[in-house]
Amino acid sequence: MAFAPATQDDAWERATALETLDPVAAAKAVLEALAATTGELSGNQQALGFRLGAALAESGDPTDAAVLQLALHERVGADWSAINATITLMRLGRLDEAAALLLEHEPRASEPADVANYRGLVAMARADVTAARQHFSRALVHGSRDAGLSLARLDLLTGHPSAARAGFRPSVDDAAPHAWALRGWALTLLP
């Protein structure tokens, strides 16, 4: 027998109660709540959906995570929800869907640098070096620090270790260097 919440709030309360006990059941309750409610979601509801989507993706159930994250993004329409769903779609190899999601979201992005950087990561995963470089460059113009590392990774993957080293260098010199910068820098030093 399917759970039929007495009110819209009941589905959200059920999801909250199930979050640590059974993330899959909690995610289903969130999907029920999303279908049963209209209007804006509260910050707590958004955070719950985000946590459950991430938990499902990390627990080896990325397909269910993608369903939840896409439904959440449809309601929230935020940069974080677009990027969260994109990461999961990339894990699933659904690169065309990830690219389309970001393309659709980009005009209303509050942080265009982040969205452009992820568009570059999707293009890189699709082996579209030209598009990846264009997206990363646009992200840099918008002030992204991550895009510099992304460009350096692209240079490393395309056989340009000197350019990659130059790209990783600023992050390696930081007081707290990013792990990707350290890994990338080390890889540029290999013969």
Q: What is the pLDDT of residues 66-115, one digit of tens each?
A: 999 999 999 999 999 999 999 999 999 999 999 999 999 999 999 999 99
CA distances from 89 to 26, 83, 160 (A): 21, 10, 28
Point out the residues of the chain with pLDDT beneath 70: 1-8
CA–CA separation, 16 and 7 (whole Å) = 15
Residue 56: Cβ within 10 Å count: 23
Residue found under tokens 């692209």: 154
* Predicted pLDDT of residue 39: 84
**pTM here?**
0.87
Report pLDDT for 1: 40
What pLDDT, on a 0 to 100 scale, did the predictor assign at position 124?
98
Contact 161, 145 (CB under 8 A): no
Residue 107 confidence (pLDDT) = 96
pLDDT at 8 (0 to 100): 63
Please report the pLDDT score of residue 7 as a whole number. Answer: 59
